[in-house]
Amino acid sequence: MEYSKTYTAKDEHIDFQNIMDGLYYPFYMEWCRHDYIKEVLGFDFIKEAENGVNMVLSKYTLQFVRSLKKGDEFVVTCSPLVDKTNKSVLHFKQTILLNNKVVTKAVFSGTCVGANGRPFLPENLLEKLAGVPEWDGQL
């Protein structure tokens, strides 16, 4: 169930060292993850929010392996993972690849929150995640 998108490092994301500033890597991962969630899982953030359901992050872990430079064309991947013990938490394992080499790897974890403030995953989302592997806790 891996999903990927290709991006180019934007000039305004490059710092004085001529590498991409570290704060932008999670943004590219977010763009890919949001597209995956909408296109593959069918969860429309705007429509769901209008219905009182918000998908939110609870944490993420990110590891930098190498840097991107101005103009680099790179691939961001996204794969869903379910939680072993908490059925209301969904994880997304993501990587940024440059020439098929890992630049950054991360796991983003989140849930949905309804009007009552309690975490849950909507039934239609759970159906689409049937058979998705469990997260083993590793990046």
pLDDT digits (tens, 9 = 90+) for 54-77: 999 999 999 999 999 999 999 999
pLDDT of residue 139: 84
Q: Could you give the CA distance from residue 31 to residue 136 in angstroms, rounded to a whole number?
A: 24
Q: Is it the case that residue 1 has pLDDT exceeding 80?
A: no
* Rg, C-alpha atoms of the chain: 16
Q: What is the pLDDT of residues 32-57, one digit of tens each?
A: 999 999 999 999 999 999 999 999 99
- Domain ranges, ordered by start, for the chain: 3-128
> What pLDDT band is residue 30 in, cutting at 50, 70 and 90?
very high
Phi and psi for 128 in degrees, rounded to 5?
-75, -20
**pLDDT, averaged across the chain:** 96
Q: Which CATH class is domain 3-128?
A: alpha beta
Q: What counts of helices (H) and strands (E) characterise the chain?
A: 3, 6
